[in-house]
Amino acid sequence: MSAHTAFTRLPVVDIQGLYSTDPAERQAAADQLGDAARAAGFLYVTGHGVAPSLIAGLRRQTEALFALPLEQKQRFHIDQSANHSGYVPQGEEEVYPGVIDYKEAYDINNDLGRDDPRPVLGRTQWPDCPELPGFRAEVDAYYQAALELGNVLFRGFALALGLEEDRFTRHITTPPSQLRLIHYPYNPDAPADRPGIGAHTDYECFTILLPTAPGLEVLNGAGEWIDAPVLPGAFVINIGDMLEALSNGEFVATQHRVRKVAEERYAFPLFCNLDYDTLIEPLPEFVSAERPPRYPPLVCGEHLFAQTAQTFNYLKARVASGELKLPDAARPVSSFGQRAEVK
């Protein structure tokens, strides 16, 4: 039995109250956020305050990037980066071995401006080339705005769970929160059963998604795939593995997928994380004799890296060769969410 309801559409939450100076207004908005997270694990948020001009700049730069010839994009292949950032061609990433998603992507990480020995931190590989003037400035401007929205939502989710408002944000200084620029090309000749991306849960605490066209589907509590159409002016938010673990299953990550698209589609998920070395385990407020911890301890960045290294071919090859090693506590992909809990 899934933790979620048999919802037929995603709930919509106006989060403007989270920006209020009145604690009661913040709590009221957080309660709505929590109700939606418990019911569906997926929701739309409005009243977020991210400027339309930032979204327009992000989309303009992304369209220019993916319009480049493949050989130019390959110059910035993700395997050339030290922190898992850069161009991801079709077939590089496999949620399920042997199943190729019909998409390409460019991954932007939290650019620390310096090297870092941890595998998903450090300097971001930007596609600095004359064909993309202003790319870094405009994409980073959106990244910073979305990251701040993430902090607002972290505070909202903390209140929704009955925790101190800064319970999560006190662990956010240089988080490995990744923005993906994803392009789903339209190909009328592609097989009907070839998805944009296969069913999965997100590894992180939660995701802030900006889609440009239909295609997203979400698994409800009855095991039915529910369409999640674009809601103008809204972001899609979904619970990820780590918030499920921190809340000891109070919130549950939701399986989702992108079906074969009927038109060219772009999607911009920001995967919101706590700092790399943060210990992810059920918080004591959600553990009791009647409700023992359901999740073993994980280190935030190690879980993120382990899941990534099991889905990207260039990393799988480095693990197989011994160049890289998965963390001892690495869990298989899709170990969380409503499908995982019925195994």
pTM above 0.75, yes or no: yes
Task: Name the pLDDT band for 321 (thresholds 50, 70, 90).
Answer: very high
Residue 165 has pLDDT above 80, yes or no: yes
Q: What is the pLDDT of residue 101?
A: 75
Structural contact between residues 206 and 240, judged by C-beta atoms closer than 8 angstroms: yes
CB atoms within 10 A of CB 41: 33
Mean pLDDT of 82-111: 88
Decide: helix, strand or coil at residue 304: helix
Mean pLDDT of 141-164: 98
Residue appearing with tokens 């991801």:
88
Q: Write out pLDDT tens, residues 65-93.
A: 999 999 999 999 999 998 999 999 998 98
Tokens, residue 121? 């931190």
Q: What is the pLDDT of residue 343?
A: 30
Task: Name the pLDDT band for 194 (thresholds 50, 70, 90).
Answer: low
Which percentage of the chain shows pLDDT scores above 70? 92
DSSP state letters, 240-277: -HHHHHHTTTSS----EEEPPPSS-EEEEEEEE---TT
Mean of pLDDT over the chain? 90
Strand partners, 107: 86, 180
Q: How far apart are CA 77 and CA 158, in angstroms?
A: 37
Q: How far apart are CA 252 and CA 254, in angstroms?
A: 6
Residue 189 has pLDDT above 70, yes or no: no
Q: How far apart are CA 312 and CA 180, in angstroms?
A: 14
Residue 258 has pLDDT above 90, yes or no: no
Helix locations, 124-274, DSSP H: 135-160, 241-246
48, 91, 99, 124, 202 from 303: Cα distances, Å: 29, 23, 23, 20, 11
Please tell us whether the domain made up of 12-340 is placed in CATH 3.30.2080.10: no
Domain boundaries, the chain: 12-340
Q: How far apart are CA 331 and CA 334, in angstroms?
A: 9
Q: What is the pLDDT of residue 342?
A: 34
Q: Which of 61-70, 139-148, 249-258, 334-343 has the lowest mean pLDDT?
A: 334-343
Q: How far apart are CA 315 and CA 321, in angstroms?
A: 10
Task: Name the pLDDT band for 195 (thresholds 50, 70, 90).
Answer: low
Distance of CA 62 to the CA centre of its chain: 18
Task: Name the pLDDT band for 197 (thresholds 50, 70, 90).
Answer: low
